[in-house]
Chain A
Amino acid sequence: MTTAAHQQPATDKNASTKGAISIRNVTKIYDPKGANVLAVDDCSLEIAPAEVCMIVGPSGCGKTTLLNAIAGFHSITSGQIDLDGEMLCGPDKPLADQGADRVVVFQNGALFPWKTLADNVAYGPIVQGLMNKADAREKAISMLSEAGLSGVADKYPGEVSSGMARRAEIVRALINDPKVLLLDEPYRAMDALTKSIMHESLLEVYDRTRVTIFFITHDLEEAIFLGDRVIVMTTRPARTKKIVEVKINRPRDYRLLSSEEFRILVQETKEAVHEEAVKAFEAGERELA
């Protein structure tokens, strides 16, 4: 932990402030070959520590742009993003540094196919110089078995099901003890049954670690089932259109899905999203990379 603090000069002495993201007036203009595309327009959002913040909106609306800005994959044009009061990116520093305090779980999965699951999980601590190889592997294997993956620790990602791979990817993120988990539609390509298993295991992880989660999705039921708040974004350029507070107690389980309050929340969100989806569909633009 002390080594991590030395690498990432963040103030995590106080556990309650761990993982607060503050997005203020962020604007992003893509400029591929002179075509100015306004992807995110003056977007502001405060995410509390240990919050599960779900972002929904039509395809290509700029949700991923926001995630990329937080993770440090893309620069922002103006505005500022802070993590626990430290500036990630802002004026004079458009591109955030990439770091293991904000780990991303990718849309199509990005476990290294040439490393076994255990080696994938052990990768973070090893390259950050926090542990030696043997210790990291040991911890990786124990964390994998906690997630119910003990039997496949020495298999390659190509040999296990996509559900297992995705779970291992979350373990790979958690081993770094991140402040924020950034998930970019991680369960997009999964069937409904696998998805519900994934949801329960993510909730279980959240209840255990209380890590801040920034979760992008298209699936409204997923958003409400998992989230504390659901942020509905407008079609491009992205702005916050509506914020739905999900005041349902944790721990949650699948029985919630058939409850009345759940359905009311879904309905409420759906109306807002649908309007934007129609606008996006009529604009007919392709998604930005």
Chain B
Amino acid sequence: MSNQGVSGHAPTGFQYFLYKTWKSLKTPMPYLAFAGIGLWLLTYFLLNEYWKIFPFFKIPGPVEVITEWLSRDPIWGTSLFTEDYYINIWVSCRRVIIGFALATVLGVPLGLFMGWSKKFKDYTFPVLETLRPIPILAWVPLAIVMFSGFETPIIYLATLASFFVTALNTMLGVESIDESYFRAAGCLGSKKRHVFINVVVPGSLPFIFTGLQISIGVAWFSLVAAEMISGDYGLGYMIMASYMVNKYTTMVMAMLTLGLVGWITSAMVRAAGNRMMRWRAKALGQGGV
């Protein structure tokens, strides 16, 4: 499965990927990685399942979790073959996507204007900076009061968290653009809107995408918290609910699923960034298309 994932966005296709793999097999790195992961799983297995040392045995071990995960007839009711596993994943993903999209649509323009216009920044940045230190979790009760139901407060929290990250990184991105590009655009006869489209936006893209990568992580972070505290579905809810009824195997399964899904979404954002900034990949000598 991971093979497919890597070859999918390898820049010069499958051949290139094979070549890279072949090269890397001659270094000790893949074997070390294997050994490291093996060692970790072994320790986990020995402590939790084999020797059952206190307090490790309280957490289900790897064999138990994987057996349950792959079981067609799971003991605790949730596995790869049950419907509610996918419902929870889908619900969480949908919330993250909505929150992330909203945050991007609001945060990127705000950041661009803050970086571009000193005056605009002077008036908006202080408010942002006053609200930003408040942890997203502290908004939970307020969000529940402001928006009723389950869905809107949770999406609001995920949006808020990524919004701050996106806006801030975009602003830093604009501020990082070398002054000479603005000057060059100016002396080539650009009007303000040309500068915005041709300098401000592309110049800040690297920072924007760094920001988006962080922002999707933050969206997951807040989503999980919100779902754990007040949710009806979703992976965070799945963790909390199985904890409440002592279905610890399901709980660990949900944690691992969360890690996997989170990793996939950030890989997607990274891939999108690399596609949109081909000029940069080429400049850095990371292979062409």
Contact = CB atoms under 8 A, between A and B. Distances in A.
A172 interface: yes
B283 A110 contact: no
B282 A159 contact: yes
Contacts of B12: none
Interface in A106-141: 106-108, 110-115, 123-124, 127-128
B4 interface: no
A114 B202 contact: yes
A156 B280 CA distance: 9
B190 interface: yes
A72 B184 CA distance: 11
Interface stretch (B70-78, B102-110, B191-199): B191-199
A172 B279 contact: no
Interface string B164-199: 000000000000001011011111111100100011
Nearest to B197: A127
B283 A159 contact: yes
B188 A114 contact: no
A158 interface: yes
Given A106-B180, A112-B198, A127-B198, A156 B282 contact: yes
Contact of B187 (A71, A107, A113): A71
A157 interface: yes
B186 A110 contact: no
Q: Which of A72, A98, A155 has the most CB of B within 10 A?
A: A98
Given A112-B202, A127-B194, A156-B283, A172 B188 contact: yes
Contacts of B190: 127
Contacts of A21: none
A27 B121 CA distance: 33
B245 interface: no
B191 A110 contact: no
A232 interface: no
A72 B186 contact: yes
B187 A158 contact: no
22 contacts: A72-B186, A98-B183, A98-B189, A104-B183, A104-B184, A104-B187, A110-B184, A111-B184, A112-B181, A112-B198, A114-B205, A114-B279, A114-B280, A115-B198, A124-B188, A127-B190, A155-B282, A156-B282, A158-B283, A158-B284, A159-B283, A182-B187
Interface of A: 7, 71-73, 98-100, 102-104, 106-108, 110-115, 123-124, 127-128, 155-159, 172, 176, 182
